[in-house]
Structure formats: C-alpha cells, structure tokens
Amino acid sequence: MKTAETSVPVHPLLADRWSPRGFDRAHSLAPDQLAALLEAARWAPSANNSQPWRFLVAQRGAPEFDRLTAALAPGNRAWADAASALLLVAAETVDETGRPRPWALYDTGQAVAHLITQAQADGLATHQMGGFDAAAVRDDFGLAEALSPVVVIAVGRLDGDAALPEPLAARERAPRTRAPLRSLLLTPAQNTELPAA
Ligand SMILES: Cc1cc2nc3c(=O)[nH]c(=O)nc-3n(C[C@H](O)[C@H](O)[C@H](O)COP(=O)(O)O)c2cc1C
C-alpha cells in the first residue's frame, strides 16, 4: 500500500490508488473485469456528450499485446509486459463532419480517470504510460487520422515481489508525493481556507 498522505480524508479509492510497475504475470483479466473498466469509461462526462474516447484492448498472450509492448519506451517495456492487458487509449479529436473537438483530450483523460478508479475498486492495479511511439502505433494499427493516441494503460494484479531493475525497484518503494495543496490555487492563499498540507 502506498496510501496518499492527504490533508483531509479523501475516498480510499483515490488515496490508495498508485501506479506500480510490479505486475503478476500469472494473472489474466476475466471478461467481466475488462467490461467493467470499459463501462466505467463509457459513463464519463464529456463535452456535448461527444464521448471521444476509444480503446484498443490487448490481453497478454494476444498478438496485439506484443505489438503494443514493442511500441513502448524501453523503460516501460521492462515491466509492462507482465501486465494482464495493455489498453491503448485514443481520442477522436475531429468529429464525423471534420469539425475539431476542442475537449477531446480532456474528455478522454476523464474517461481514463473513471477507468482507473473502477480498476482500483475491483482490486486491479493500473499504470498509465505516455512513453510509447504514437506514430508507430498509428501505423501498426492503422488508426484513422481523426484519432490521436494518448496513453497506454497497463492493467493487472499487483505483484509486490516482482523483480524490477534499478532505478525502477527504488521507485516502486518510494513514497508517493505531490505539490502542496496551496500551490494548486490561482487565487491568493489568504482568500481560501485550507488545512496545511
Ligand atoms: C499521461 C501520463 C503519462 C505517464 N507516463 C508514464 C510513463 O511513460 N512511464 C511510467 O513509468 N509512468 C508514467 N506515468 C505514471 C506517472 O509517473 C504517475 O502517475 C505519477 O508519478 C504519480 O504516481 P501515482 O500514480 O503512483 O500516484 C504516466 C502518467 C500519466 C497520467
């Protein structure tokens, strides 16, 4: 557990979620577990209910999994191949009439927030990765021009004893940190009562 040290209590689903690199190679996702993740994303809010998020699901053992793994940055490939599934997340940034969707990336990130919170509720670990070759993925999977690859999510069961190379092993043990709560505010701090964090 790497529970966040929060200034006031927040929901345990949020406080307890973290992004591990140790995944259990023996675990695979049940169809219902996978469906719950996608269903959670599906019900995210979005601008004009445009729902611009798209997912390419690759379960370990499937050829798509190896193709996605090959597109990861080497530092991610070192551990993410033990995940039960890799989900490529793309945003449809242009609608069917060719009009840009200015909120597509925002909406897609919010859908991912839903997905990873559902995963946490279901006892699954997730780790998002921006470190992948988006152009290679676009080519390999023949993604339409309107789709922007955003992130790859590793999903699986945490393995706290997984062997990781340094410096990843040290990062796995390191406490989670965040900027102070007050630093998020654009207004002068004295106008907003906040506990010291
Ligand atoms: C858009 C995005 C891209 C990320 N890219 C990577 C990545 O390529 N490799 C990696 O190990 N972690 C990556 N992360 C994980 C972050 O480093 C991690 O969420 C952050 O350090 C906070 O840690 P926590 O999720 O455990 O609270 C990414 C996270 C996000 C949201």
Decide if 189 contacts 39 (C-beta within 8 A): no
- What strand order describes the sheet that includes 53-59? 53-59, 85-92, 147-156, 125-129
Question: What's the predicted TM-score (pTM) here?
Answer: 0.96
Domain coordinates in residue numbering, the chain: 23-159
- Does 151 sit in the ligand 1 pocket, CB within 6 Å? yes
112 sits in which H/E element: helix 104-121
Stretch 117-137: mean pLDDT, rounded? 98
Q: 23-159, which class in CATH? A: alpha beta
Q: Please, what is the average pLDDT of the chain?
A: 96
Q: Which two tokens stand for residue 64?
A: 């798509």
Q: Above 90 in pLDDT, residue 43? A: yes
Confidence of residue 197 (pLDDT cuts 50, 70, 90): low
Span 74-97, pLDDT tens digits: 999 999 999 999 999 999 999 999
For residue 19, report the distance from its CA to the centre of ligand 1, in Å. Answer: 7
pLDDT, position 190: 61
pLDDT, position 192: 66
Question: Closest residue (by CA) to atom 1 of ligand 1?
Answer: 130
For residue 80, report the distance from its CA to the centre of ligand 1, in Å. Answer: 12
Query: CA of 144: how far to CAs of 8, 31, 35, 109, 165, in Å?
Result: 44, 27, 24, 20, 37
Q: Prior bond to 9 cis, omega within 30? A: no
pLDDT, position 6: 96
pLDDT, position 1: 86
Torsion over CA: 34, 23, 28, 131 (sign)? positive
Q: Above 70 in pLDDT, residue 173? A: yes
HSE-up (13 A, CA, CB side) for residue 51: 9
